[in-house]
Structure 1
């Protein structure tokens, strides 16, 4: 865990598509946005904003993908617990390989990612 707020926390994805792939997760469980009070959804959005800033400072990506998959049919890996993804992206990165060949090319291991990002979250 990189950060824990009053309603949500920030973790690294255990199976990242790119280095710096983070997730913002509510502390309480629920499968869709309608299961959460506005306070939780606002904190999720605020933490996604902070994640974008932190990833930008740590990795200097050319762009980002952010998203929430609601339900197994939409690709939710943990369908019963809503969470938001933020992935840094670079021109010419290999992210498409995951969908085409079930292959991931991640240039640093999870420990390196954690060590790189934690100091930024400690200032929140």
Structure 2
């Protein structure tokens, strides 16, 4: 690559389109059903609470909205595209984007629901650990940045086994209906 005056700026750049096709090492697991989420009419938007799936979920039946438990100011819902079985999201009912926008009561209940989610998932499936987190803003990885949600991701020994590493494939052994039923039935039980 050169500047306008012909001086080089490092290695010569070549047009990638002229290269023979190189594989990237990833096998493809085709999931056309995700197109409803990615490009279809059901794709979540960040345009406000009228289109927000976290605002819509509480108005549905629990099984239809994938809701596990409801509180006064927050609810627990299964992630539609989970990292692992039992991946929950703890969401305030109120459409707020930032953790600092929560009231004291919402923040307290969000914390209590996160704790109960961990207790419940331990009773249901015995994970070895958890990842907890919030992606604040689209640049931080939030798919739906306009509505705050806390991820509770159970981690199992071997969940990062050879499949994701060698085959670039994630195995999810339970379907949403089964996971939602098991977690909902165990919610609030004895530790």
> Would you say same fold, with TM above 0.5?
yes
Tell me which residue corresponds to 2:144.
Answer: 78
Q: Is the contact between residue 97 and residue 104 of structure 1 (CA under 8 Å) also seen in structure 2?
A: yes
Aligned length: 122
Q: Is the contact between residue 94 and residue 105 of structure 1 (CA under 8 Å) also seen in structure 2?
A: no
Aligned with residue 26 of structure 1, among 87, 92, 105: 92
Tell me which residue corresponds to 2:159.
Answer: 93
Taking the TM superposition and a 5 Å limit, the aligned residue runs for 1:92-111 are: 92-94=158-160, 97=164, 101=168, 103-111=169-177
Q: Which runs of 5+ in 1 are unaligned?
A: none
Q: Is the contact between residue 17 and residue 105 of structure 1 (CA under 8 Å) also seen in structure 2?
A: no
Q: Which runs of 5+ in 2 are unaligned?
A: 1-66
Q: Say yes or no: does 1:11 pair with 2:77.
A: yes
Tell me which residue corresponds to 1:112.
Answer: 178
- In the TM superposition, what whole-angstrom CA distance separates every residue of 1:8-55 from its partner, at most 9, and x where no partner exists? 000000111101110100000111111111110110000000000000
Could you list the structure 1 runs, at least 4 aligned residues long, displaced by more than 2 angstroms after superposition: 94-98, 121-124
RMSD: 2.2
Give the TM-score taking structure 2 as reference length: 0.59
Displacement after TM superposition at 1:123 (Å): 5.3
Give the TM-score taking structure 1 as reference length: 0.89
- Larger Rg: 1 or 2? 2
Bigger relative contact order, structure 1 or 2 (CA pairs below 8 A, ≥6 apart): 1
